[in-house]
């Protein structure tokens, strides 16, 4: 049995950042993890102020991640952090992650895992070599009904899968972003974001969700990436035709210029016997469709759901769970995995059900392949890793 909470050190996520606060709430929720230290900003002043506001002890507020990793390494095992959580822009993922692994710390990292596919592969290799865990926060696969959907597909409920349609329209980049929009700024900057904007930011979520639920892998693509708003350096929109490794076809649409959309990730999957539909904005509803029977509305928290859905649910049916709970499922499963390891136990399949370095590699491959396909005159482009 665990003798204490799992200790987290955060890299990035100081005042003014968005996703860092989300990671902290997700890590807080279940009382399994405590924020023990942080290098919360590359700006030392911000790092210190942010650490104080989060009630960190002064000697564990660091002003850069190298210092943190070094210093924590030297603390007694009973005190030092167990893992780092990296919530910086994409260009500051790879180095701190490698350094953490090299120093014996597990890693949580926001997606996309790195700036390039090559980095992602290196990270995956390092994780394998060290036996440490890398956890990638593809939030949307953390929802209980997404896990229910995956289970039903796996159980053969719908027969062979024939078609997968996923879409992820947002509207927040419909206009040229104001200069002071920090979120918009780094995402539009190739140096910080990499070779893709929209496809890296939200397309990867859509691709991961499609593969996660269907259990299939994208095999060929035909991509049309667009830069709709004048003066933008990276794609802000795109449509992709898909072929999966079982021959199923599909579509993936991602956009950040879909004016009026908030965060409208939706997926529809069709098999021989029926289909499913899930919308992130109403995540506690999973529509199950049948050839000759009424559609069923699965709702989170019910007894009729699969074990894996229940394992990832906190409240009874009718008490809606949201984005933070899905995010927290990733942290919770990761923490349970680390605890099991500490106790010398093998983590269960349910505990290990969080996105990992392999998913990170596939995500980076998705980005590189869609960008290449979009530039190509060739119709079908092989999805290469």
Closer residue to a copy of itself in complex, CB, 74/379:
379
**β-pair type (218-226, 381-382):** antiparallel
CA neighbours within 13 Å on the CB side: how many for 95?
7
Residue with Cβ nearer a copy of itself (63 or 256): 256
The radius of gyration of the chain's CA atoms, rounded to the nearest angstrom, is 21
Min dist. Cβ of residue 201 to a copy of itself (A): 13
Q: Could you please report the per-residue DSSP string of 35-78? A: EEEEE--SSHHHHHHHHHHTT--GGGB-SSHHHHHHHHHHS-TT
| Residue with Cβ nearer a copy of itself (130 or 296) | 296
For residue 231, the minimal CB distance to a copy of itself (Å) is 14
The span from the CA of 70 to the CA of 326, in Å, is 32
Closest CB to a copy of itself among residues 200, 257: 257
Q: Which of helix, strand or coil describes residue 291?
A: coil
Which of 122/229 has CB closer to a copy of itself? 229
Considering the complex, what minimum distance in angstroms separates the CB of residue 292 from a copy of itself? Answer: 6
Tell me how far, at minimum, the Cβ of 118 lies from a copy of itself, in Å: 27
Nearer to a copy of itself, 131 or 322 (CB): 322
CA distance 206 to 279: 12
As measured in angstroms, the least distance from the Cβ of 280 to a copy of itself is 8
Cis peptide before 227 (omega within 30 of 0): no
Q: How far is the CB of 234 from a copy of itself (least distance, A)?
A: 16
Helix (H, G, I), strand (E, B) or coil at 322: coil
CA distance 342 to 93: 26
Q: How many CB atoms sit inside 10 A of residue 371's CB?
A: 20
* CB nearer to a copy of itself: pick between 7 and 124: 7
Closest CB 257 distance from a copy of itself, rounded Å: 6
Quick check: 333 and 32 in contact, CB under 8 A? no
Residue 253: beta bridge partners?
Answer: 167, 239
Q: Which of 62, 70, 318, 269 is nearest to 152 (CA)?
A: 269
Nearest to 88 by CA among 45, 129, 130, 47: 47
- Tell me how far apart the alpha carbons of residues 280 and 265 are, in angstroms, rounded to a whole number: 5
- CB–CB of 6/335 below 8 Å? yes
Q: CB of 89: closest distance to a copy of itself in angstroms?
A: 17
Choice between 131 and 159, CB closer to a copy of itself:
159
């Amino acid at each position: 049995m665990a003798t204490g909470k799992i200790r987290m050190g955060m890299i990035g996520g100081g005042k003014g950042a968005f996703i860092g606060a989300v990671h902290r709430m997700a890590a807080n929720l279940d009382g399994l993890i405590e924020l023990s230290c942080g290098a919360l900003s590359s700006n030392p002043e911000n790092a210190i102020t942010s650490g104080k506001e989060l009630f960190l002890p002064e000697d564990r507020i660091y002003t850069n991640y190298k210092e943190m990793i070094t210093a924590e390494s030297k603390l007694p095992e009973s005190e030092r952090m167990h893992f780092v959580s990296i919530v910086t822009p994409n260009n500051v993922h790879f180095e701190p992650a490698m350094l953490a692994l090299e120093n014996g710390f597990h890693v949580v990292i926001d997606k996309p895992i790195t700036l390039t596919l090559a980095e992602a592969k290196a990270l995956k290799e390092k994780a394998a070599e060290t036996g440490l865990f890398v956890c990638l926060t593809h939030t949307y696969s953390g929802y209980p009904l997404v896990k229910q959907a995956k289970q039903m597909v796996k159980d053969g409920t719908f027969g062979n899968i024939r078609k997968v349609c996923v879409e992820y329209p947002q509207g927040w980049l419909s206009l040229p972003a104001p200069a002071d929009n920090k979120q918009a700024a780094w995402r539009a900057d190739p140096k910080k974001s990499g070779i893709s904007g929209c496809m890296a930011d939200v397309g990867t979520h859509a691709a991961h969700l499609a593969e996660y639920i269907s259990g299939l892998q994208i095999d060929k693509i035909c991509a049309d990436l667009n830069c709709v708003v004048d003066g933008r350096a990276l794609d802000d929109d795109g449509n992709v035709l898909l072929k999966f490794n079982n021959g199923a076809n599909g579509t993936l649409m991602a956009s950040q210029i879909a004016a009026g959309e908030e965060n409208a990730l939706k997926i529809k999957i069709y098999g021989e016997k029926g289909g499913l539909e899930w919308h992130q904005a109403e995540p506690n509803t999973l529509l199950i469709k049948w050839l000759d029977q009424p559609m069923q509305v699965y709702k989170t928290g019910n007894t009729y759901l699969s074990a894996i859905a229940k394992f990832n649910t906190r409240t009874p049916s009718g008490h809606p769970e949201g984005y933070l709970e899905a995010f927290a499922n990733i942290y919770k499963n990761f923490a349970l995995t680390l605890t099991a390891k500490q106790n010398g136990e093998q983590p269960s399949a349910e505990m290990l059900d969080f996105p990992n370095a392999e998913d990170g590699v596939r995500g980076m491959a998705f980005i590189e392949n869609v960008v290449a396909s979009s530039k190509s005159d060739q119709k079908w482009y092989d999805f290469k890793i």
